Copies of this chain bind each other. A is one copy, B any other.
């Protein structure tokens, strides 16, 4: 139901090919929505049949032809209706969280291996986001609603990553030293942080 809308949001921002969209799903919005290229192409086809998007075929000499999609007026209306519609409660499912929760049932060696790989990845991503945040702060005097929304979403993403890193670090400590650290080890967190302990 909402991959459809995710695509419409992206195309509203800027027209592009299915391939472009797949790229964009890996950046920014990837934080809260992503999809494989197979899914995207299928969905674009369906959206086209419903008249919510349209495309222009751009023939290319060497590379395969590209279908350059853009949102239609009808598409914009459908998106607006969805945005203004009721929110359904969301079903969370995270296999990683499940594994951590049940980590006592496994040998810790293999779990720690994966945990460390993920910890490193999360830290890299956090560094990236923090950089984006500071460059946003640098260029912002008075920002539009659009920009402000992008900014608060980014901050949300940062907090989430920090929270994940903290969890992984805590579980790591539990599995290696058998204790919960008093002050979780998170020195490299930078600004835009968490809830602020009273």
Contact = CB atoms under 8 A, between A and B. Distances in A.
Interface of A: 1-3, 5-6, 9, 12, 29-35, 76, 79-80, 82-88, 90-107, 110-111, 114, 117-118, 144-146, 148-153, 155-156, 159-160, 162-164, 166-167, 170-171, 174-175, 178-180, 186, 189-191, 193-198
Among A88, A162, A195, which residue has the most Cβ atoms of chain B within 10 A? Answer: A195
A90 B94 contact: yes
B198 A189 contact: yes
Contacts of A164: 156
Work out how many copies of this chain go into the complex: 2
A100 B149 CA distance: 7
A14 to B, nearest CB: 13
A43 to B, nearest CB: 13
Chain A contact residues, majority secondary structure: helix
A32 B163 CA distance: 14
Given A80-B106, A106-B83, A2 B180 contact: no
A145 B195 CA distance: 27
Given A33-B92, A95-B88, A196-B193, A178 B145 contact: yes
B98 A6 contact: yes
B33 A94 contact: yes
Most B CB atoms within 10 A — which of A167, A179, A189, A196?
Answer: A196
A33 B153 CA distance: 24
Contacts of A163: 156, 159-160, 163, 194-195
Contacts of A171: 149, 152
Contact of A194 (B80, B87, B162): B162
A96 B190 CA distance: 27
Contacts of A33: 92-94, 97-98
A53 B145 CA distance: 53
